[in-house]
Structure 1
Amino acid sequence: MFNLKRYTGMSLLGFILAASACKVPSIIQVTENKTVPGTFGNSQDTVNISTLKWRSYFTDPNLQNLIDTALKNNQELAITLQEIQIAKNEALFRRGPLLPTVSAKLGAGLEKVGRYTSQGAGDASTQIEEGKEMPDPLPDFVAGIYANWEVDIWKKLHNAKKAALTRYLSSIEGRNFVLTNLIAEVANSYYELLALDNQLDIIRQNIELQKNGLEIVKVQKEATRVTELAVQKFQAEVLKSQSMEFDVLQQIKATENKINFLLGRYPQDIPRQKGNFLALVPAAVKAGIPSQLLANRPDIKQAELDLAAAKLDVKVARAEFYPSLGISAGLGLQAFKPSYLTKIPESMLYSLAGDLTAPLINRNAIKAEFYMANARQLQALYNYQRTLLNAYLEVSTQLSNISNLEKSYDLKSKSVDALNRSIQISNDLFASARADYLEVLMTQRDALESKLELIETKRDQLNAVVNVYRDLGGGWK
């Protein structure tokens, strides 16, 4: 037997499905390229210093205490930890729509309709008990439980939950990246401070040397061996060095405050060994192979997770084109008099409904959201490729830097030794009138500059091994 209602319902369902499915944009499939060069140079050694814990890599007790304090108090790290909590709660929030929404209702109301209406006329003729009309105005008492549930036909809700969970994991990698950079920044600032301390000592030693030279020149002027010009030249060099002393003192203060900022505290002294800075030996560097960056660098893993989340966002946006199936149900008691609520089944109410809805008019807005999700997916892909490329180049640059700094330091050390000998020679020659004061001044100036440069090179060496440890992904484990 032909059922018109069933045929009409199936036709309407088919129309909704056909209308919602027509011209659905396709997803742009993207795949990240994880290919990197086989080595950083000629070495095939897989030993990698990034596997070392930072306490094993940085052995200076004062530096270890500073890093410990920074990990506890640094505000940027604290902000990142809150971002993790936000992402975690977002993941929990996205789980909600997968389950039915169940709510309880307990209510009371009062309604008065016009007598000369269909509802009012009908109510007047209805009797609940013999000789009693329905109350007017009509009270309404209800107690019930209601549920609504969207059936996740197209995995839209599941993909949204997975995207939120992926971003939570990404936020953890972001925290690890902050840890790595924070440890490196504290270490670099600490070595900067040690270098400035030693530069200050060198400048003060040079001031004493120049003052001695000034006294000698004054004596020679009285003996008419030199003129007032020589005295003023030596005096100017002393004043210049004294000015440099205050410049370095200010740099020391600024560096101390930078470290205190990283440690999340107000200015105070930074404990440190002010011994022979040039005697410090940079840690041995083992870079491993480039493919290890994929597992060790937090920023690479974060970019990879962001790309995975962006891919899921595209699937969620595409699912908006398709119809959604919602189911709602209710069960409870309802009556116009509280005493009637206990009369079951007369006062019982229940409902069960399902609806299939599909977008028809607002498809342009859905398309726009889909295309934005696709664009964000491509952005995430390019960001991943850029992050991977940058990681490799950073390590390559630091390895080259370490090698060149070692050679530069050896040459500058020899230069300092030669200039130290030339200072004594020039002083002896000047005392015997075999060299003029300008040669003495230039020798002292060249020696000072060479010593300061040697300290800067040592600092750069120590910073380079800190940076390569960071660039390899060390410090966060």
Structure 2
Amino acid sequence: MFKSKLYIYAGVAGLLLNVTSCKLPEVATKTEDTTVPEQYANAVQDTVNSAKIRWQDYFTDPYLDSLIDTALENNQELNITMQEIAIARSEVKARKGEYLPFIDIGAGAGVDKKARYTSQGAMEATTDIRPGEEMPEPLPDFFVGATASWEIDIWNKLHNAKKAALSRYLSSVEGKNFLVTNLIAEIANSYYELLALDNQLEIVNQNIEIQSNALRIVKLQKEAARVTELAVRKFEAEVFKTRSLQYDVQQKITETENRINFLVGRFPQPISRDHHAFSTLIPEKIQTGIPSQLLENRPDIRQAELELAASKLDVKVAKARFYPSLGISAGIGYQAFNPKYLLNTPESLLYSIAGDLTAPLINRNEIKATYISANAKQVQAVYNYEQTILNAYVEVANQLSRIGNLEKSYELKSKEVDALTQSIDISSTLFRSARADYMEVLLTQRDALESRFELVETKMQQMNAFVSMYKALGGGWN
């Protein structure tokens, strides 16, 4: 008898499995390609990589280090990301709980009055609990017990969902690491920009002094009838122009300080710094390592890799929904119409256990759509992963070329500044001896100012390249 029932159940299960395991929808598939060039162009092939250096050792300016340290504690965007990590961690716990049994305990009380002229009411009216003891009316009901339900994860649907949540949690951690890298780079770039602006403001002040001295000489020569009023007005206009530039630079300094304060997570206040050290800054030599190290060092690449792993698991979860699911439910407890009988065993004891096998049969369009969507997202994640790797390589290659070109450019601009600085004295001497006109003096001063500005700008770009290369290699987060 038992064997015959077992065969019937097995036959039903086989029928359900056969019906529901029809041909799955056809979907496009793609496998990720993680190959990268063996080395960077015009770079020595060496596994030594500057990304392994801690940011405290990479940036040696104590004022900058203090800003970065404060930002890693107070930056609002970083703190928001930390909460996203906490949310992702809770999602892992929730998914893990789904494939464990659900057990509930409860108690209840109620009262029930049946109409006498009904079949159930008439039956209770003529029923004695014991000889001479009638059924109470109305009938109280007391219950205490436990119930349990458990979905048997025969297709690993729930386990894969938990693994996908875990991958996304780890992905959120890598996202935080990538944010840390970007935050450090943004603060460092803004700090070096601030130092550059300080130096440009100093250059402007020096030029104002030079031009004011030249203006006094021109006024004296005008009194001696050696130049006209036009020359005086031209020199005055040049002084006004440079003074106007002074306020433009001061405004940029204020905005840059406020940008740094925002990144640090505080209201505007002066930024401590030593701008005199800017001109002596020399970017240290950076070791790029080999391109394959980007897959390990760059948090955004590892984030994309983990998102890809999660999307693959999502496809398995969606696929498992086509197959039957097996559930077990059970309950045990005590129930009686009078509390004094509630714990009487076995009279008041009740229990149940049941198993059910269910499978989608009609209107499976939602399951098909979910499966197709999950597969498309998995292909999308492959492209995103490959794009992230390609972008990382291009960033390093660009910064590598930029560092070399800026080094040569800075050397030439330094020579240009030296030549134009000397030409200021020469033009002033020639002007006083009437061997050069005032326009030559003005143009020489203007060119010298622009060249010194450009030299500072090039130095700032060198430091930005120094910072950007560290970021491109994946440094800072560790």
Aligned residue for 1:118?
A: 119
Q: What is the one-letter code of the residue matched to 1:443?
A: T
Residues 150 and 324 of structure 1 are in contact (CA less than 8 Å); yes or no, is this contact kept in structure 2? yes
Does residue 44 (structure 1) correspond to residue 45 (structure 2)? The answer is yes
Cα deviation code 1:337-365 (max 9, x no counterpart): 11111221011000000001111233101
Residues 27 and 372 of structure 2 are in contact (CA less than 8 Å); yes or no, is this contact kept in structure 1? no
Residues 343 and 349 of structure 2 are in contact (CA less than 8 Å); yes or no, is this contact kept in structure 1? no
- SS of the residue corresponding to residue 292 of structure 2 reads helix
Aligned residue for 1:84?
A: 85
Q: What is the one-letter code of the residue matched to 1:31?
A: T
Whole-Å Cα distance in 2 between the matches of residues 328 and 299 of structure 1? 45
Q: How does 1:140-289 map to 2 (within 5 A)?
A: 140-289=141-290
How far does residue 276 in structure 1 lie from its aligned partner after superposition? 4.6
Whole-Å Cα distance in 2 between the matches of residues 352 and 251 of structure 1? 75
Q: Percent identity?
A: 64
Aligned residue for 2:34?
A: 34
- SS of the residue corresponding to residue 77 of structure 1 reads helix
Distance 1:2 1:109, change over 3 A: closer
How far does residue 13 in structure 1 lie from its aligned partner after superposition? 2.9
Residues 419 and 443 of structure 1 are in contact (CA less than 8 Å); yes or no, is this contact kept in structure 2? yes
- SS of the residue corresponding to residue 276 of structure 2 reads coil
Aligned residue for 1:417?
A: 418
Aligned residue for 1:394?
A: 395
Residues 29 and 375 of structure 2 are in contact (CA less than 8 Å); yes or no, is this contact kept in structure 1? no
Whole-Å Cα distance in 2 between the matches of residues 203 and 81 of structure 1? 44
Whole-Å Cα distance in 2 between the matches of residues 6 and 71 of structure 1? 64
RMSD: 1.5
Whole-Å Cα distance in 2 between the matches of residues 362 and 437 of structure 1? 90
Aligned residue for 2:57?
A: 56
Whole-Å Cα distance in 1 between the matches of residues 40 and 307 of structure 2? 27
Q: What is the one-letter code of the residue matched to 2:369?
A: A
Distance 1:78 1:2, change over 3 A: closer
Structure 1, gaps ≥5 residues long: none
Whole-Å Cα distance in 1 between the matches of residues 336 and 277 of structure 2? 92
Residues 311 and 374 of structure 2 are in contact (CA less than 8 Å); yes or no, is this contact kept in structure 1? yes
Distance 1:241 1:13, change over 3 A: same
Whole-Å Cα distance in 1 between the matches of residues 2 and 301 of structure 2? 63
Structure 2, gaps ≥5 residues long: none
Q: What is the one-letter code of the residue matched to 1:150?
A: E
Residues 57 and 283 of structure 1 are in contact (CA less than 8 Å); yes or no, is this contact kept in structure 2? no
How far does residue 3 in structure 1 lie from its aligned partner after superposition? 8.6
How far does residue 251 in structure 1 lie from its aligned partner after superposition? 0.2
Does residue 305 (structure 1) correspond to residue 306 (structure 2)? The answer is yes
Q: What is the one-letter code of the residue matched to 1:213?
A: A
Q: What is the one-letter code of the residue matched to 1:372?
A: S
Whole-Å Cα distance in 1 between the matches of residues 295 and 72 of structure 2? 25
Whole-Å Cα distance in 1 between the matches of residues 470 and 224 of structure 2? 61
Q: What is the one-letter code of the residue matched to 1:296?
A: N
- SS of the residue corresponding to residue 342 of structure 1 reads coil
With normalisation by structure 2, the TM-score equals 0.97
Q: What is the one-letter code of the residue matched to 2:20?
A: S
Whole-Å Cα distance in 2 between the matches of residues 150 and 232 of structure 1? 91
How far does residue 29 in structure 1 lie from its aligned partner after superposition? 4.5
How far does residue 428 in structure 1 lie from its aligned partner after superposition? 0.6
Aligned residue for 2:342?
A: 341
Residues 48 and 288 of structure 2 are in contact (CA less than 8 Å); yes or no, is this contact kept in structure 1? yes
- SS of the residue corresponding to residue 268 of structure 2 reads coil
Whole-Å Cα distance in 2 between the matches of residues 180 and 135 of structure 1? 76
Cα deviation code 1:433-477 (max 9, x no counterpart): 000000000000000000000000000000101000011000111
Residues 49 and 287 of structure 1 are in contact (CA less than 8 Å); yes or no, is this contact kept in structure 2? yes
- Deviation larger for 255-264 or 362-371: 362-371
Aligned residue for 2:382?
A: 381
Whole-Å Cα distance in 1 between the matches of residues 327 and 71 of structure 2? 52
How far does residue 15 in structure 1 lie from its aligned partner after superposition? 2.9
Residues 201 and 250 of structure 2 are in contact (CA less than 8 Å); yes or no, is this contact kept in structure 1? yes
Whole-Å Cα distance in 2 between the matches of residues 383 and 156 of structure 1? 25
Whole-Å Cα distance in 2 between the matches of residues 8 and 276 of structure 1? 87
Distance 1:166 1:224, change over 3 A: same
Whole-Å Cα distance in 1 between the matches of residues 128 and 382 of structure 2? 72
How far does residue 121 in structure 1 lie from its aligned partner after superposition? 2.9
Does residue 14 (structure 1) correspond to residue 14 (structure 2)? The answer is yes
Segments ≥4 residues shifted beyond 4 Å: 1-11, 26-29
Whole-Å Cα distance in 2 between the matches of residues 380 and 363 of structure 1? 26
Whole-Å Cα distance in 1 between the matches of residues 152 and 119 of structure 2? 39
Q: How does 1:315-354 map to 2 (within 5 A)?
A: 315-354=316-355
How far does residue 34 in structure 1 lie from its aligned partner after superposition? 0.9
Cα deviation code 1:386-441 (max 9, x no counterpart): 11000000000000000000010011011001101111110010000000000000
- Deviation larger for 295-304 or 10-19: 10-19
Whole-Å Cα distance in 2 between the matches of residues 25 and 124 of structure 1? 61
- SS of the residue corresponding to residue 230 of structure 1 reads helix
Cα deviation code 1:28-83 (max 9, x no counterpart): 54322110011112411111100000111100111111111111111111011111
Distance 1:2 1:76, change over 3 A: closer
Whole-Å Cα distance in 2 between the matches of residues 3 and 146 of structure 1? 29
With normalisation by structure 1, the TM-score equals 0.97
Aligned residues: 477
Q: What is the one-letter code of the residue matched to 1:12?
A: V
Residues 151 and 326 of structure 1 are in contact (CA less than 8 Å); yes or no, is this contact kept in structure 2? yes
Q: What is the one-letter code of the residue matched to 2:255?
A: A
Whole-Å Cα distance in 1 between the matches of residues 3 and 57 of structure 2? 81
Whole-Å Cα distance in 2 between the matches of residues 206 and 377 of structure 1? 61
Whole-Å Cα distance in 2 between the matches of residues 6 and 434 of structure 1? 117
- SS of the residue corresponding to residue 275 of structure 1 reads helix
- Deviation larger for 342-351 or 247-256: 342-351
